[in-house]
Structure formats: structure tokens, C-alpha cells
Structure 1
Amino acid sequence: MTKEQTIRNAGDSRYRIAVDTGGTFTDVVVGSSDGAIAVGKALTTYDRVFTGFEASVRRAAESVGWDGDDVLRNADVIVYGTTHATNAVLTGRVARTALLTTQGFADTLLLREGGRRDAFDSKAAYPGPYIPRELTYEIPERINAEGEVLVPLNESYVRSVLRTLAAEGVEAVAVSFLWSIINASHENRLAELLQEVLPGVPYTLSHAANPTIREYRRSSAASIDASLKPLMADHLGNLRADLEQFGFGGDLLVVTSEGAVLDVVDVLDRPVLLLNSGPSMAPLVGAAAAPDHDTVVVCDMGGTTFDVSLVEKGIVRHTREAWLGEPFVGHLTGLSSVAVSSIGAGGGSIAWIDGGGLLRVGPQSARSMPGPAAYARGGEEPTVTDACVALGYLDASGFEGGFILDREAAVKAIDSRISGSLSMSTERAAQAILDVSANHMATAIRQASLEQGVDPRGALIVAGGGAGAMVAAAIGLLLEADTVLIPATAGVLAAYGAHRAPIATEFLSPLANDTRSFDIASASRAVGELEAKAAAFAARFDGVGSRPVFTYFVDARYPGQAWDLRVHLGDVPNTSEGGAEAIEHAFHVEHDHRNGTHDPNSRVEVITWGVRVEISRPDHAKDAIRAGGAPESHRSDPVIFSGETHSTPRYRGVTLGPGDVLPGPAVIDQPTTTIVVPPEWDATLDDRSNIYLTRKEA
């Protein structure tokens, strides 16, 4: 078929576009209705996100002979992932937000949870609350744990406070009253007063943001959610307007922290779900690439960050302890999200010399503007990418970011900032930058896995992201791993995860119970409420995907424990006779799995009932498989490994097929990433074009 025929036929196709907007690059995966897949990458544009998104789509379309305009106009679904919300919270660039709370509880955000990462660091400053004390207002009202009104809501006082907020220029309001999860009447009435006195000002009620018994998490979730509403309404509104202006008339779905997608309307109503959403997609690809491995450690190295997550027996691990920023010092919502640990170690991480003369890499990043020095966009600081250019890893003339790399600029940056200070040659300094960066990433993997009871030496390492495949072997060596897997879609790992992600959400019912004095009526009420909410949510997406799957769970604990465990029960839990025993048994099993011990004679306290609704979307993608043979390189380049220059063959990834074996040293140039195979390693393609790096026997 000629290119002209391909373009003409593409105009009749329908498309699904998944986009991951990172700190440096915007990655896209485009799937057509006939099963074909195309990928693209372009620099992220901060002033108008659609600009970088459109450039990525066009690059993906052009790579397979499609017309970019047709792809955008004929897309049925666009799935959008972004770090915009997370970055806004971490940098404090959110709306000016006030917190209204029960009288006597103004310090909930100040007292917070947790402690210190380093218990012996007496000089660590006490972190401030998410919403400053001067914007926290105590409201006379009180409801007890049984839902009884002890102190009625003082509406005249509320009106005076709201008028004060207007004078203070408040842009959003969070409301968190005591025991609103049992009786939300006061929070609901305050919402009515807000609409009356401050019409148009967005607000969040804590019982809707996170219906949990834990007061800090509920208040924190409400505060963060409210502060994000103006920002994300503007961000997503601009994107939607740009898409509509271009002619897009399909569905806009947004990636959430739960490792799923939701309609943009749902996300605008609850933007707290966007926190940590970008990294939540990569584990889906890791799970699919290695379905037969008990434990998989997924590493996603982009231009700004390095993310680590765990997959156990095909199940992506979730957590409700996802801190925004440093643990115990940052902020916590208590909402379920994919368990991801992130550090500032990406391709754009800046190398620098500290006051003691030691080489450091990150956490500062050159991002997309000005970018690494090799991008020739004004960057002068040496980065990991510049080190890879100097060592010959990256093909300066064939870089797929939409521009040609400037090797001389990369060398100049390394020499001016690193080589001279360390009295090293350019090559040794570049290798040192990579070594320091790889050690940071290996340490992050050890910490993330060991904290979850997983030894990384016995796990399969899956490496992806635009920069991950360049250092995958180095990380494997540091972790004593003999094999590292690089998925076929490694360069756009998160975007491909978004392409496959289901529509899903969770509903919670905070009705406490006890397995030894089981309240059947309360349990039945909780499960009934969940069934109704789950059915209503599924009905909205009837016909969009496969049949919805409902997975019920409880958050429970032993008496006296400070923290609870999430225990999955599967089908609708039995709330009649025998239901308590089933919950007890499931909790004992989960507690033993997570902590290595359990108490079979103890009763169990159920803190929260919950259900996850998941609707898998149809996947029409087909694997573009060609028979393997005798792979031929298109040229050889001098590439430096551990201080020695090797004449290294370069292969175009699109010419390789299943069964091909490439002995190291070798470099594989993919459309969205570069795979580096050091001399001590070999590369083998499996039947799905995933690449396994294996260490040669000594």
C-alpha cells in the first residue's frame, strides 16, 4: 500500500489517543480502529498544553503515514494524563483557599499525621499547614459520632465569615466539619449558604472529598481539592476548548491516581483525583509485559523524574499513604492511588558540584525549557541527557524529539561545570554523571521495594520512559539482577498505560463495625449504599466498554491498632450470619501477608466499607509482528562504556523482530527511546517485541 493510500484510508478510520504530559516531553499513543498503533513525542509546552500535544500527535501520525488532522478530528476518545495538579500543589501555585471547620478544631491541618523521616534530625523545621492558619475559620456547630446534632449550625455567623472571605479575596473554600461522614446536614447547608453569599466560588465538602473516619485526611483532601478547582477548570477547560476548535467531538477522559480514567466532568468536580495521576499508568504496562512473574518492579524514567512501582502476581499495588512531597513533611489525602515512589532523577536532571566538591545529580531539572544543553534551546547546565550525548548513546542526527541534538553544546556544559572542577576528561565526567544518577535510581528501587517487603534481587526489573532504557543495564547491575525487561512501548510507558487503562472509581461508606458484635443492619446499609452508587456509575458508561466488574473491600484493623489494612472481599460481602467470620478470616490472611504475623483469636474492627467499579475499554490493538532473522545494523558509532571506546553497531528498532539476538555492545534506536546494551549484556526480542537485557556469563 502506498503512503497516499494509507493517508486516504486513515481518513475513514476512528482513533483513540492517549497522552501523557510530563515535565519535559509530551508522549502520545494513537490507536486506530483497524488495530494499528503509532507513538510520538514532543517537548511539553507549559503556556498552552495543546501545542505540545498536537505536535506529538502529528509526529505519531507521520511515523506511519497517517494525516495528523484526520487523527485529531476522527478521534472517538482522548485520554489525558498530566502532572499539572501535582506540580501545582508541590509549588504552592494553587488558588487562595479558606478552610471552614468545627469550632475548636482549627489546627487539624497543622497537627497533621506522621513524624520525621529522620527521627534524629532535631533541626528539621516543623512543616506549615496546607491552608494557613489566618485563612482557617472556626464555625459554631457540632455533630457527634452517632450523627446527633449537639450544637446547631450558626447560620448568621457563617454569613459573616463568608463576607469576610469575599473581602480577603478567597478563590476557593474547603469545608470540614466533625463527623460529617455520619451526618452531612451541616456541611450541605453551608454549601447552600456559599452558593447564596459567594456565588461562583468553588468549594469542596469533606464528606464528598474523602469519606473517611480520619479527620486529618478528610480535611486535607477537601482543602487540596478545593484549591485545585479553579486551576484545573482553567487547564482542562483550555484543553477542551482547543480540541473542540480543532474539530474534536469525542469523549475526553482524564487519568486518575487510581490507575484508571474518568470523564473530564467527574475530574473537574473532584480534581484531587489528579494527584500522582501521571505515574499511575506505567505499572499497567509492566503488569501486561510480564504477566507470569510473581513480582515486577516497574521503573519509569522521564525527563524530570524517576518513578518506581510494584506489581505482584499481575496486580498493581495501591496505597492510601501517597504523600505529596517528602513523607511526613508533605501533604496527604488518604485516597487510594497507585503506589509510586518518585525522585528527581530524569534525563533532564542537572549535574552540579556541591560545597564539598562532590558531584551531585538532581533533583533540579532543566525540563523542556530551556532543556538540556544538547537541545540548543538556551540551556547551559549539564544534564544526564548531555552525558548520554557525550558518551555516544544518543544519535544526535536522528533524535526523535523534533530537533537535532548539539553534541558540542553538551560537551561544553560538562566541561565548564563538571570536568574542570573534578579534574576529569569530558568522557570520565560524563560517565560519572551517569554513575551517580544510576546509583540514585537503584537506591530508590531498593527503598520502595524493601519498604513493601520485596527483595528487588528476586524481582523482574521493567525499565521504561524516554530515558530509562539508556540506563536499564546499569541499574540492573547495581541491583544484582541478571535480566532487565524493556517493553516494546518503553519510550511512552505511561501514555501506553493510559491507552489501555479502564474506566474506574471507588466508593466508600464509613460505617464502622466489629466482627464479634456484628451489626447486621449497619453492614447491610453500608453495602446497599455502595451497590446503588456502583450501579449508577456503571450505568453512565453502559456500552462504552466491557461488562463492569465490582470488587468489594473493607478497611479494617485489630483493636488498638493505629492503622488499618485494605482487605479485598471480591463479590458483594455477606452481611448476614457468617459474614463477620468471612471478613475476619480475610483480614487475618492479609495481615499475615503484609506483616508476617496475625492473631487468629482477635476480633477485627471494620472502619470503612468500599467498592471499586472497573469497566475495561475495548482494545483493538494488534501486534505488528515480523519474523526475526539476522538483524543488521545500519552503522557503527564510537560509544564509550566505563571509560573505554567501543565500535558499537546501531540498530533501528523497527527493523527487528521476535527472536532477534543482539550481542553487546549495541545501541537500538526506537522512535521514542534509545536502548543501550553494554558489552557485558545481550539483548533478545520476545514474541511481542519486548526486549530482554541479559548479563553474559563470566
Structure 2
Amino acid sequence: MTFRIAVDTGGTFSDVVITNTATRQLWIDKALTTYDRVFDGISAALTAAAGDIGTDLRGLLSQTSLFTYGTTFSTNAIITGDVARTAFLTTQGHPDTLVLREGGKLNPFDFRHPYPDPYIPRRLTFEVPERIDAEGGILIPLDETRVAEIAADLRGVEAVAVCLLWSIVNPAHELRVAEILARDLPGVPVTLSHQINPILREYRRASSAAIDASLKPLMQRHLREMETDLRRGGFDGQLLVGTSFGGVLGVEDVAARPIYTVNSAPAMAPVAGRANAPDEDSIIVCDMGGTSFDVSIVRDGNMKFTRETWIGGQYTGHMTGLSAVDIRNIGAGGGSIAWIDPGGLLHVGPQSAKSTPGPACYGQGGTWATVTDASLVMGHIDPDFFLGGRMRLDPAAAERAIRMNVAEPLGIGLHKAAHAILTIATENMVNAIRSITVNEGLDPRKSLLIAGGGAGGMTIGRIAELLGSSRALVPRTAGTLSASGGLFSDIVTEFSASRRADTRDFDHAAVNAELARLDAQIDAFFDRIETPKDRQAREFLVEARYPQQIWELDVPLRGAAFAGREDVEAMIAGFHAAHERVFAVSEPGQGVECIGWKARAIARLPRPRLERGAQTAASAEPLAVGQSWFGGDSPEPTARYDGANLPAGTILQGPCIILEPTTTIVVFPGWTATVLPNGDYMMAKEC
């Protein structure tokens, strides 16, 4: 087994990264995503890469030991509503958990927008007579006859989510409901809230159960098809699937809890960012694909996690409720459509042309003006070198789309319209970055920006300039950044428990019992996947807050037990520091309230060491000098370079353009790009 493969299927492109574990060579490629059968798009990219390697698709797959698959399939299904018909069972008297959510609203005095629909409609919500109290005592026994009657009413339902009050303390009723449903609705998947997300907040637990259940039929079928296609193609190695934890899990584990795949592909980008810049204190990873722009951060080598992952808009979308890599995404990709509202204002996104029909310049019938069309009109993309020359773009179609949809309605020139599209798209991206950095106590001016995605290299210089940042790294794998993160991912899963504790009267015995239970779950997980001791790692965290606060912060613990007051004080100090970092204020001497406990199991996988391949004709001379626009009244002479053949140490002065097979790197005026020994590009603003 010679090769390892990582794949990321996005809304527009399917990206593949292949490494030879013996020679450390690297191949990257991409192809348009195919929606009917995802493997068709993946196989097109793999076939192209196999040709570069000197083999065919079957020869490549038969020599592959590890295949890592990241996807936006589940995320897109939630956004479009293309999920299973799901029923929701909850405690009698509480049918509106998914309707009322958490009551948030970004603009409290804006009454123009309708109240969002619940994830599962009220007509498929059923109340179960039962009640367990906060101590786990049974106040009202479960009415099993009524549960059986509900099951009889669920004919035609494809999945069921169950969330009963205080099941996190005593799950007996949820477990019995599952037994009745399995008896009366054989083959219908069921998700229990205390198993998928054992936390206090009712809406988040209910939402997790609802989303997970609704994805089971879809994702189980999708993963089965994926594995079948791979095996038929000659693959006989290990198949792992990316998760929202920033790691990977086996197919069976993910099929059992498909909510783990939500945002799984974007969660790989910070893994790749950390691997590309391991010595940086803070990193901002910007991944701009064809459909969306995703931003995440790495601080002191650690990725930022959150329980507030919204699919769709905040408060108007749907929350996964699970601890996941904090990814902020907006509809600002290469395929984002430029449009004018009734008031005459120009907008970009969130609608996307996707892979079909795609931007107008793809020549597949698209007529809307997109970010890619604007970049082509500005001279930032070489129409003959898109996807390494495999796909020729149509500049005339891009010009027609921008003239018809933007320039003429606004009464401005072609290049001014294209520049306006890029400016608005960039501003949207910068605002997304500020929401995860400035709003969270991180100064982007002191951070390294890393560009990812097929369109990331074209915008990262302008993003850095607007943020006041002076450095940006564009890896040679930038066009497939999330996919490359799959090569550096470990097997990661989390276990959690709810147990309130107050540091002013800390219950060592109760907390240590919960931590011991989580530790035992980690042991069982490692035993099941047969992880050697020397590749095991575990992390323990507490979700804590000051008394009477609403939201918690994650604080790492020293280990799986509190030996004495010294460990408690260390936890308190860690919380004060985290609160100071995020909110710029802390309250030394104040007690800390512990709400939940988390244990993260990490099975280390062998890390590839990627080296730049031999260059066939190293040269720092430009291929040509063309004309590109950068916002002025006239174009500027702009050299174009073949990135694959630039020698290490080469310093290029902007404006210039570097052509890579899966991306284009635009070095703006006033910036330089230095070719690093491994083939990456460090961009810096000239003083």
C-alpha cells in the first residue's frame, strides 16, 4: 500500500489530495461536484491525478491504504430541507421546544421577517405522557400504551427523534420509548437526545436529536454508496470520514451519528492550517471555495470549539448543539451571484451558481454574474489555465453577464462593475473574519492569515490589507486545503456529561465519578478501534461560567480527576484567563460554576511529511506579461508565473499572478510573494 488519499466534496468542486507515503510526493486535483452520484466527480479528479502519477484509477485505489472523506453533503441537505421525514417525541406539555428555540433575534425591532419554521413541523411533534424530575426521580410513569399509539400514527415517517425532560439524569423513559419504536417501527432509525448530546439546555439537546435523526436515512445511504463505489474501484484499505470535531471516524461510527458530518469538510481546513504553520501563535484560516467562504482560527496550536454551530442564519437557522470546530461561513465563494435589490444596491451572495450551471464563464448555460466572472474580467484568472488547463473559461460570457446584470443596471463601466463585485464579496469575508477574531478577543493584525480554497489565493491579499495584517501564507495545497487537512487528521471523538458543580463548595466525589465514567468510555473506544497505547491521547475539559451567567467557556483540565483543592484552583485560574482573553474582563476571587464535562479521545494516525517534487524546468522568468485591473482607472502590466517551476527563495513583486493547477494567486500592488522551500508562498506587505 503506497498511497493515502483525502477528499473534500464541496458545493462546486470535489478536491482530492494524494500522497506517496514512501517518496513523500504530493498530487492535488479537483473536478466539478456531481450531485446524483458524488463518486463520479471524485473519480474524475482521481483519474486525472492518477494519470500524473503514471497509473489508472483502479491501480491508484488498489495501492491506497487510507482514504479520508470529508463532505458538505449533510450540511447542504439541512440548508435545502432535503432530509428524511422525521417525527419528534417529547414530554407532554413541551411540544414547542423546536418552535421557540432560544428566543434570540439579531434585530429585535425588525418585524418584516416571518418567524422561522421549526426543524420538525408541529404536525409531526408528539407529546409523550411521562415526567422525570431534575434529580432523576419518576414523577409520572411512562405511558407505554400511548407510545404504542403514537408509533401507529408514524407510518410513512422515515426517522424519529426523542427528547424527554431530564433524560440526561435518568434515561430510562427514553430507552423504553426506543424499545417500543424498534418493536412497532422496525427499520426506522431513532435518535435519543441523552445519547447524542447529554447537556442541560433543552433546545440544543432536542435540536441535536432532530438533526441527527433526519440525516440518518440520507447519510447512511450516501456512505454505503460511497464505500461500495470505492470497493468496486479496487480500494481495499481503511475508509475514514471527516467530522465536525476536526478529526475523522470510521464509517460505522459516523453512520450511527451522522450529525458529526455537519461542517466536517470545513473543519479540516484549520487542521491543514496548523500543519502548514506549526510555529505560529495565532492563525486565521480563510477557505474560499466555489460556494462559501469559511473562516476558523488556531491559537497556540489549538483549534477553537463551540456549541453554537448554526446551519443557516443565527437564530433563524438550526443549531447542531454539539461541541464542534468553530467555523463561520457565509455565501461568498467563487460562484456567489451578484444581484441588485429593488433599491438599486449591489449584493453578492449568498446564492451560488454551484457547479451546475456554474458561473457564466464556465460555458454551461449560466447567465448570472459571479465572483469568478468578475475575477476573469479583471484579468486575475488566466482563461486557458483554469484547473491546470483542463477547463477553458469563456471571457466573453463573463463580460456579457456582468454588463447585463450589474454594469448596465447601475450605469457604470464593465471593469468598475467587476471591481464592485469583488469589493463587496471581500467586505463580506472581512466581516466574517472580524466576527470570529475581534469579537472573540483576537487581534487579526497580529495573526498569520492562511488562504485556502480554489478562490482563496485571489482574495487573501486584499483581505489582509483590509484587516491591517501584513502577512499571508498561501500553501501549494491551497486549492484543496480542506482535503489536505484530511491527511493530517487523527481519529477524534468526544464524550460529555452534565453535572453541576460550584467551586465554592466543590463536590469532588461526584465530579470525579463523572470524569471516571468519561475516562472509561475513552478506554472502551480505544479498545474497539484497536488503538496502540503509544498512539492514544485524551483531553478533559469543563464548561464553566461565573454564577448567573448564561454562556459557558471551555477550560482544559489537568487530568481525569481532581486530586485536591490545588486542581480546583488551577481550573479556576484557567477560567479567569479564558474569560479575560475572550471578554477582556475577569473577576479574580469570584467562584466558578461548572455546568458540563467533556472528554476528547484522540487516536494518533501517522502524519505524512510532504515534500516538494522535483522541478522539470526551474525558472523565475514570467510566462507572459498581461494587463490586469486592481481598482484604478486603467489596467496595470502584470507578470504571470508558472508556480510549479518557481525556485525556492524567489521573491516576486506585485502586481503579479502565480498560476497553480488548482488555484490562482494574485499578488496585489504593494505586496511581495516569497517562494518557501516546500513550495508554499509567503505574501508580505511592503513597508
TM-score when normalising by structure 1 = 0.94
* Residues 270-309 of structure 1: per-residue CA shift (max 9 Å, x gap): 0111112121111122223333332221111000101111
Superposed displacement of residue 502, structure 1: 0.9
Residue 215 (structure 2) aligns with: 228
Distance 1:130 1:475 in 2: 35
Does 2:262 match 1:275?
yes
Is the Cα–Cα contact under 8 Å of residues 269 and 485 in structure 2 kept in the other structure?
yes
**Correspondence for 1:465 among 450, 453, 460:** 453
Superposed displacement of residue 242, structure 1: 1.2
Superposed displacement of residue 233, structure 1: 1.1
**Correspondence for 1:87 among 76, 79, 82:** 76
Q: Which runs of structure 2 are paired with 1:366-385 in the superposition (5 Å)?
A: 366-385=353-372
**3-state secondary structure, aligned to 2:557:** strand
Does 2:656 match 1:666?
yes
- AA in 1 matched with 2:408: G
Superposed displacement of residue 514, structure 1: 2.5
Residue 568 (structure 1) aligns with: 556
Distance 1:554 1:693 in 2: 39
* Residues 641-667 of structure 1: per-residue CA shift (max 9 Å, x gap): 324223322111110232111112211
Relative distance call for 1:590 and 1:454 in structure 2 (3 A) is closer
Is the Cα–Cα contact under 8 Å of residues 283 and 497 in structure 1 kept in the other structure?
yes
Superposed displacement of residue 578, structure 1: 4.5
Residue 198 (structure 1) aligns with: 185
Residue 598 (structure 1) aligns with: 586
Residue 305 (structure 2) aligns with: 318
Residue 298 (structure 1) aligns with: 285
Residue 247 (structure 2) aligns with: 260
**Correspondence for 1:107 among 86, 90, 96:** 96
Instruction: Name the stretch that deviates more: 448-457 or 576-585.
Output: 576-585
Residue 29 (structure 2) aligns with: 40
- AA in 2 matched with 1:611: A
Distance 1:281 1:688 in 2: 21
Residue 86 (structure 2) aligns with: 97
Instruction: Name the stretch that deviates more: 557-566 or 135-144.
Output: 557-566
Instruction: Name the stretch that deviates more: 123-132 or 497-506.
Output: 123-132
Residue 130 (structure 1) aligns with: 119
Superposed displacement of residue 543, structure 1: 4.8
Relative distance call for 1:281 and 1:496 in structure 2 (3 A) is same
Does 2:641 match 1:651?
yes
Residue 527 (structure 1) aligns with: 515
Superposed displacement of residue 92, structure 1: 1.4
Distance 2:134 2:60 in 1: 55
Is the Cα–Cα contact under 8 Å of residues 508 and 562 in structure 2 kept in the other structure?
no
**Correspondence for 1:352 among 339, 357, 365:** 339
Relative distance call for 1:144 and 1:424 in structure 2 (3 A) is same
- AA in 1 matched with 2:635: T
Instruction: Name the stretch that deviates more: 582-591 or 370-379.
Output: 582-591
Distance 2:476 2:466 in 1: 23
Distance 1:33 1:684 in 2: 28
**Correspondence for 2:672 among 676, 682, 692:** 682
Is the Cα–Cα contact under 8 Å of residues 402 and 417 in structure 2 kept in the other structure?
yes
Is the Cα–Cα contact under 8 Å of residues 3 and 64 in structure 2 kept in the other structure?
yes
**3-state secondary structure, aligned to 2:574:** helix
Instruction: Name the stretch that deviates more: 590-599 or 555-564.
Output: 590-599
**3-state secondary structure, aligned to 1:427:** helix
* Residues 409-436 of structure 1: per-residue CA shift (max 9 Å, x gap): 1122122222222333322222222122
Is the Cα–Cα contact under 8 Å of residues 287 and 456 in structure 2 kept in the other structure?
yes
Does 2:352 match 1:365?
yes
Residue 501 (structure 1) aligns with: 489
* Residues 389-425 of structure 1: per-residue CA shift (max 9 Å, x gap): 2222222122117421111211221222222223333
Residue 433 (structure 2) aligns with: 445
* Residues 83-106 of structure 1: per-residue CA shift (max 9 Å, x gap): 111111112111111111111111
Superposed displacement of residue 17, structure 1: 0.9
* Residues 1-32 of structure 1: per-residue CA shift (max 9 Å, x gap): xxxxxxxxxxxx52211100011100010112
* Residues 160-202 of structure 1: per-residue CA shift (max 9 Å, x gap): 1100111xx2111011111111111111111111110000001
Relative distance call for 1:577 and 1:641 in structure 2 (3 A) is closer
- AA in 2 matched with 1:605: E
Distance 1:126 1:453 in 2: 32
Is the Cα–Cα contact under 8 Å of residues 618 and 645 in structure 2 kept in the other structure?
no
Relative distance call for 1:561 and 1:635 in structure 2 (3 A) is same
Distance 2:498 2:297 in 1: 28
Does 2:462 match 1:480?
no
Instruction: Name the stretch that deviates more: 566-575 or 153-162.
Output: 566-575
Relative distance call for 1:80 and 1:354 in structure 2 (3 A) is same
Is the Cα–Cα contact under 8 Å of residues 639 and 645 in structure 1 kept in the other structure?
yes
- AA in 2 matched with 1:657: P
Superposed displacement of residue 621, structure 1: 2.8
RMSD: 1.9
Distance 2:628 2:405 in 1: 22
Distance 2:588 2:416 in 1: 59
Is the Cα–Cα contact under 8 Å of residues 79 and 311 in structure 2 kept in the other structure?
yes
Report the number of matched residues. Answer: 683
Instruction: Name the stretch that deviates more: 628-637 or 377-386.
Output: 628-637
Superposed displacement of residue 603, structure 1: 2.7
Superposed displacement of residue 320, structure 1: 1.0
Instruction: Name the stretch that deviates more: 97-106 or 441-450.
Output: 441-450
Does 2:205 match 1:218?
yes
- AA in 1 matched with 2:198: P
- AA in 1 matched with 2:410: L
Q: Percent identity?
A: 47
Distance 1:480 1:41 in 2: 32
Superposed displacement of residue 247, structure 1: 2.0
Does 2:134 match 1:145?
yes
Is the Cα–Cα contact under 8 Å of residues 546 and 618 in structure 1 kept in the other structure?
no
Relative distance call for 1:460 and 1:86 in structure 2 (3 A) is same
- AA in 1 matched with 2:70: G
Relative distance call for 1:477 and 1:557 in structure 2 (3 A) is closer
Is the Cα–Cα contact under 8 Å of residues 487 and 690 in structure 1 kept in the other structure?
yes
TM-score when normalising by structure 2 = 0.96
Superposed displacement of residue 679, structure 1: 2.9
* Residues 202-222 of structure 1: per-residue CA shift (max 9 Å, x gap): 110000110111111111100
- AA in 1 matched with 2:401: A
| Structure 1: gaps (5+ residues) | 1-12
Distance 1:551 1:17 in 2: 28
Q: Which runs of structure 2 are paired with 1:426-445 in the superposition (5 Å)?
A: 426-445=414-433
- AA in 2 matched with 1:647: P
Relative distance call for 1:623 and 1:565 in structure 2 (3 A) is same
Q: Which runs of structure 2 are paired with 1:394-409 in the superposition (5 Å)?
A: 394-400=381-387, 402-409=390-397
**Correspondence for 1:29 among 1, 5, 17:** 17
Q: Which runs of structure 2 are paired with 1:630-641 in the superposition (5 Å)?
A: 631-641=620-630
| Structure 2: gaps (5+ residues) | none
**3-state secondary structure, aligned to 1:619:** coil
Does 2:159 match 1:159?
no
Instruction: Name the stretch that deviates more: 466-475 or 408-417.
Output: 408-417
- AA in 2 matched with 1:665: P
